[in-house]
Amino acid sequence: MNTKGLFALLSVFWLIGCNSQEAPAPAVSTFSMISKQFQDAWNNCVTGSYHRELDRISDKSAAAESAFSACKSEEDEIVQLDSEHMIPIGVWLHYKSQAKVVLIEKGVVATP
């Protein structure tokens, strides 16, 4: 290969390198932010409802179930958002079952 050909080839590689910069990814996706807001709202609702129910009912499991029922609209928002992003319902159901265990043991639903 002659010098002109080598120079042309190197020029092409240099131009490709200059134009191949990737845009920086956002620090947190919009989905993650909205999902966290919905989960925080549900966690706060469930925790508050649970403590109100404990004043009325001595059975912690029944109080937790009652709190879940009281916060159904917050749960529906989470399930809808997950569905729109093709997250299987099983993920939410697992989180909810673990949240019940933590709620009964510690009196609060911890944010994952």
Task: Considering only residues 81 and 25, tell me which one the structure prediction assigns the higher pLDDT.
Answer: 81
Q: How far apart are CA 46 and CA 34, in angstroms?
A: 18
Q: Is 47:109 a contact under the CB 8 Å cutoff?
A: yes
pTM for the model stands at 0.71
Provide the residue ranges of all domains of the chain, joining segments of one domain with +: 39-106
Residues contacting residue 83 through CB under 8 Å, at least 6 positions apart: 89
- Percent of the chain past pLDDT 70, that is, above it, reads 72
pLDDT at residue 90 in the model = 92
82-97 confidence digits (pLDDT tens): 999 888 999 999 999 9
Average pLDDT over residues 65-87: 94
Q: Is 103:90 a contact under the CB 8 Å cutoff?
A: no
Task: Determine how many CB atoms are found less than 10 A away from the CB of residue 42.
Answer: 24
